[in-house]
């Protein structure tokens, strides 16, 4: 007993010491330093980059009161004020996101280091952060010392042409301080140094409006150099020269591949050396005899040039490269995120179809390719074919791929076992068919390589309904599969284009799932670059449809995505950069509308792929295009007025507010009855009118009732691409959560969960891509990986979980946590990684009790809105009670950073 008491005293003492120590040593620090949304970027060309950081603390209610940034040419010089390039001094500010660097512009190819320290709201300073850095790329075109080179005497062909191989050898005799390779191409390239692939980036240099903007990449190759060196580069057709668009146009940007390469070596003795592409390089063809994004890759191992990328290779048969004149003044550093192989999946099942085909199921509709370990004989040709679905009978189905062959071919160069994966193609697929094999590979020999832009995962959403969890899974996989350097509509058929309408309606959901700031920053530059002189935004960006554009709800991407990025990341620069293009688009709409402010008589896509029916008592869901066009004209004009005000263009703000008021008046006279009924009596018409705020206040309630009655009558949605993202949010806005949850939980066609009941693992293009009888929709347009309808994800995060951005304090500097139980859900857990840190919102209801747990990152504040609650019945931290405010049905509690738990009996 004495020993037990002694032990208890010791444990109590340890606890007391631990608690005292945690209070005594509680501290605030700085971490996760990023420059232009990237950690330690190299090869950037932003002359005034923006710097961001996160505070961390083991205390509650921590706010930054001041910061100091110091920048220097080396880590050592950071602590020497006389050698610093810039020191902000102590700035009294709580800003920790997108702080603009205020020092002199670093020189081309210069690396600079930076640190930050902060003061919290008690006046206590943190330690300096760990050093971070950014490195400039090539800022002046004259510093491109290399020549563009291409393969000489390439044979003419209307089909996909063989990949091109380039090599050069060089020696180094001094001690190397640093080495950087700067590379770009017409076509896609992969770079090798001394037999090793230099980077894990894929599909470089990426897809831009090639004739106006061409990215180059910068690689740190310091550790890869040796005394004798060899550079090897492979070029494939890619987007530049391969088939593109459903007309299978070959060579849209040009019919000649080309390489631009330069390597700068800095030696420890202060000298430098350049290795550049020129006529002294050698070129050849090789085993990749066909490389095409749509049709696949053909690899003939009999043509391999073993050792071609290593020093000492015998170059017999290789010819001198041909120098060509191509522009260098359009070269830009990347601002987006690179495409990479992100994860791998294993085949889950081998199937012999009714037709006798050997098919493997990957278990997930994915984007990438198959890495296959296989055995064969010399000259044996095998094929890998790809499909998203099996048909009603269980056979391999490819009709929806249209003209895309989606086939990889391998020819064995010798007897034995090999592992093959392609270099310059990707497929959208779940099922793999093998042809030409004597020995069928085992499941463990089949690996699906999943590729997409390397965006940081931002959000998670889970609940106690597994079908809704699968829906969330499908939304995220749809985004991964279609965010491949540009936001494409689909990843499998002969299309895969950057459709603007799909992108703008999905943007808020995309921002919850992943950090899309850099991704959209890059793509919006191409939107502006491809805008026509009259202000029209093409339907797809980059524009490969030859200036087809100007559709309402599609072209409005020019304003909607910059506005979304601003709200999510407090990014005013994207507003400033997009503003000229936004103005041109609004003025184009204004010119089409004319003196009556009604945009009519032009052709548009309308509410694309809305539900339709042949029922005689219901004409379908066709919303008048003139109504949609005028509504979007109003909406984008209001955004333009807001943006103008934010970036300091006050006269423009007044101008566009006046224009918006005129459009609103015209809309209501033309399309709305005196009782609030719209001439297009459809769900889409009402949700757009309500969401855009285009109706007068006295008609909002009636219009909301018309919307609710339509949903309640048919018990399903009728919306298409434009109406769907707003349907549940507006039902919730008018107080009809019951109908919103009814739509969410519906399992019959048309609904979000209907594809889930059919085994979908991504979002479908059509509500009934696979019909209830097992047959398929029109093969001309039936993608099973199309993210647009996944825009319901915003409502799941924003309304059900309750993580809501505050437009007046963008970037989640201040936000609301306002969960909404319903739909027979008893538990929801959601997280979101803001620029300030993790936000968490988790609620659970049981036996009439609500338990709500939240997490608020340092340097932010939030309003926690507790539904169906009364102040006196809430269990919460004592210090929060004074901030609690009671409304008719809810209680709002104002909180600072930290973790909190609220529990209470839910009022009826």
User: Which residues are tagged catalytic?
Assistant: 495, 765
Annotate 859-889 with DSSP letters as a single string. T-EEEEEETT--GGG-B--GGGGGG-EE-SS
8 A C-beta contact, residue 871 and residue 884: yes
Contacts of 62 (CB under 8 A, 6+ apart): 28, 55, 120, 121, 858, 859, 896, 897, 898
Q: Which two tokens stand for residue 634?
A: 């109003």
Contacts of 189 (CB under 8 A, 6+ apart): 183, 204, 205, 233, 234, 235, 236, 259
Annotate 267-278 with DSSP letters as a single string. ETTS-EEEEE-S
**50 has which bridge partners?**
100
CA distance 286 to 304: 6
8 A C-beta contact, residue 819 and residue 843: yes
| Residue of 516, 630, 524, 541 lying closest to 582 (CA atoms) | 524
8 A C-beta contact, residue 626 and residue 655: no
Looking at residue 164, what DSSP letter applies? E
Q: What is the largest CA-CA distance in the chain?
A: 95
Q: Which two tokens stand for residue 787?
A: 């993210």
Contacts of 694 (CB under 8 A, 6+ apart): 631, 634, 635, 663, 664, 667, 668, 688
CA distance 637 to 879: 44
Handedness of CA 649, 655, 659, 660 (dihedral sign): positive
Q: Which two tokens stand for residue 578?
A: 């997009």
8 A C-beta contact, residue 296 and residue 405: yes
Ramachandran angles phi, psi of 738, nearest 5°: -60, -40
CB atoms within 10 A of CB 532: 15
* Helix/strand/coil for 192: strand
Q: Find the angle CA(425)-CA(427)-CA(428) to the nearest 5 degrees.
A: 155
CB atoms within 10 A of CB 42: 18
| Residue of 327, 367, 575 lying closest to 451 (CA atoms) | 367
Q: Which two tokens stand for residue 96?
A: 């920790």
* Helix/strand/coil for 826: coil
CA distance 254 to 64: 53
Question: Alpha helix locations (H) across 514-649?
Answer: 517-530, 557-569, 572-593, 625-646
| Residue of 111, 141, 99 lying closest to 41 (CA atoms) | 111
Chain-centre distance for alpha carbon 415: 43
| Residue of 443, 449, 238 lying closest to 347 (CA atoms) | 443
Within a 13 Å sphere around the CA of 904, how many CA atoms are in the beta-carbon half?
Answer: 21
Q: Which two tokens stand for residue 807?
A: 């437009």
Contacts of 737 (CB under 8 A, 6+ apart): 731, 820, 822, 823
Q: Which two tokens stand for residue 460?
A: 């998670």
* Helix/strand/coil for 772: coil
Q: How many helices (H) and strands (E) does the chain have?
A: 15, 48
| Residue of 375, 370, 401, 244 lying closest to 297 (CA atoms) | 370
């Amino acid at each position: 007993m004495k020993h037990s008491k002694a032990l208890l005293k010791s444990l109590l003492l340890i606890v007391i010491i631990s608690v005292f120590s945690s209070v005594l040593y509680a501290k605030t620090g700085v971490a996760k330093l990023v420059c232009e949304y990237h950690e330690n970027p190299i090869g950037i060309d932003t002359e005034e980059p923006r710097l961001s950081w996160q505070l961390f603390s083991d205390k509650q209610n921590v706010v930054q009161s001041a910061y100091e940034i110091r920048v220097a040419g080396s880590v050592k010089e950071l602590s020497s004020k006389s050698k610093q390039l810039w020191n902000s001094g102590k700035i009294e500010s709580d800003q920790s996101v997108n702080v603009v660097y205020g020092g002199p512009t670093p020189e081309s190819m210069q690396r600079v280091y930076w640190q930050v320290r902060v003061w919290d709201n008690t006046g206590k300073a943190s330690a300096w952060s760990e050093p971070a850095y950014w490195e400039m790329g090539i800022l002046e075109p004259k510093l491109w010392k290399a020549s563009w080179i291409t393969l000489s005497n390439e044979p003419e062909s209307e089909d996909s042409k063989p990949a091109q191989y380039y090599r050069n050898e060089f020696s180094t005799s001094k001690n190397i301080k640093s080495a950087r390779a700067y590379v770009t191409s017409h076509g896609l390239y992969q770079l090798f140094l001394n037999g090793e692939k230099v980077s894990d980036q894929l599909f470089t240099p990426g897809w831009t409006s090639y004739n106006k903007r061409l990215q180059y990449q910068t690689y740190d190759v310091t550790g890869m150099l040796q005394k004798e060196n060899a550079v090897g580069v492979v070029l494939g057709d890619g987007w530049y020269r391969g088939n593109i668009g459903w007309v299978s146009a070959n060579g849209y940007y040009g019919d000649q591949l080309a390489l631009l390469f330069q390597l700068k070596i800095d030696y420890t003795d202060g000298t430098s050396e350049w290795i550049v592409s020129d006529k002294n390089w050698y070129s050849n063809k090789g085993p990749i005899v066909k490389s095409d994004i749509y049709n696949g890759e053909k690899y003939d191992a009999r043509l391999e040039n073993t050792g071609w990328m290593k020093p000492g290779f015998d170059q017999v048969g290789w010819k001198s490269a041909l120098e060509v004149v191509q522009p260098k003044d359009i070269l830009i550093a990347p601002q987006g995120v690179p495409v990479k192989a992100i994860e791998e999946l294993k085949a889950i099942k081998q199937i012999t179809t009714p037709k006798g085909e050997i098919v493997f199921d990957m278990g997930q509709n994915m984007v990438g390719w198959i890495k296959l370990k296989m055995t064969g004989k010399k000259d044996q040709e095998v094929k890998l074919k790809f499909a998203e679905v099996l048909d009603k009978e269980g056979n391999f189905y490819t009709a929806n791929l249209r003209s895309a062959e989606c086939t990889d071919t391998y020819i064995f160069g010798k007897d034995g076992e090999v592992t093959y994966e392609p270099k310059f193609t990707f497929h959208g697929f779940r099922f793999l068919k093998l042809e030409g094999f004597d020995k069928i590979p085992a499941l463990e020999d089949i690996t699906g390589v999943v590729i997409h832009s390397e965006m940081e995962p931002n959000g998670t959403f889970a609940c106690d309904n597994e079908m809704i969890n699968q829906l969330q899974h499908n939304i995220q996989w749809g985004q991964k599969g279609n965010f491949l350097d540009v936001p494409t509509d689909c990843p499998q058929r002969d299309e895969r284009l950057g459709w603007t309408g799909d992108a703008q309606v999905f943007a808020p959901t995309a921002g919850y799932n992943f950090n899309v700031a850099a991704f959209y920053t890059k793509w919006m530059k191409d939107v502006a670059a491809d805008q026509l002189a009259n202000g029209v935004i093409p339907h797809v960006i980059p524009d490969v449809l030859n200036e087809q554009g100007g559709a309402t709800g599609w072209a409005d991407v020019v304003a909607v995505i910059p506005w979304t990025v601003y709200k999510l990341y407090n990014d005013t620069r994207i507003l400033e950069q997009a503003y000229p293009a936004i103005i041109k688009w609004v003025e184009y709409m204004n010119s089409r509308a004319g003196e009556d402010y009604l945009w009519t008589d032009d052709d548009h896509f309308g509410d694309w792929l809305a539900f339709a029916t042949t029922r005689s008592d219901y004409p379908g869901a066709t919303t008048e295009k003139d109504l949609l066009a005028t509504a979007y004209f109003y909406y984008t004009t209001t955004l333009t007025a807001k943006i103008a005000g934010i970036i300091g263009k006050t006269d423009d703000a007044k101008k566009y507010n006046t224009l918006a008021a005129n459009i609103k008046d015209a809309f209501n006279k033309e399309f709305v009855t005196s009782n609030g009924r719209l001439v297009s009596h459809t769900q889409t018409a009402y949700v757009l009118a309500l969401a855009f705020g285009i109706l007068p206040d006295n008609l909002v309630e009636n219009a909301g009732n018309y919307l609710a009655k339509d949903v309640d009558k048919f018990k399903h949605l009728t919306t298409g691409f434009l109406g769907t993202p707003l349907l549940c949010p507006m039902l919730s806005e008018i107080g009809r959560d019951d109908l919103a949850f009814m739509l969410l939980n519906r399992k019959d066609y048309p609904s979000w969960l209907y594809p889930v009941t059919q085994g979908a693992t991504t979002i479908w293009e059509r509500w009934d891509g696979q019909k209830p009888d097992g047959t398929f929709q029109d093969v001309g347009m039936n993608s099973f990986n199309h993210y647009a309808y996944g825009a319901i994800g915003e409502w799941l995060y924003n309304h059900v979980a309750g993580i809501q951005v505050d437009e007046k304090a963008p970037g989640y500097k201040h936000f609301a946590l306002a969960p909404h139980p319903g739909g027979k859900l008893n538990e929801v857990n959601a997280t979101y990684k803001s620029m300030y840190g993790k936000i968490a919102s988790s609620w659970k209801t049981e036996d009439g009790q609500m338990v709500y747990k939240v997490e608020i990152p340092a340097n932010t504040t939030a309003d926690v809105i507790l539904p169906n609650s009364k102040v006196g019945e809430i269990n919460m931290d004592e210090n929060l009670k004074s901030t609690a405010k009671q409304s008719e049905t809810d209680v709002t509690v104002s909180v600072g950073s930290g973790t909190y738990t609220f529990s209470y009996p839910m009022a009826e």
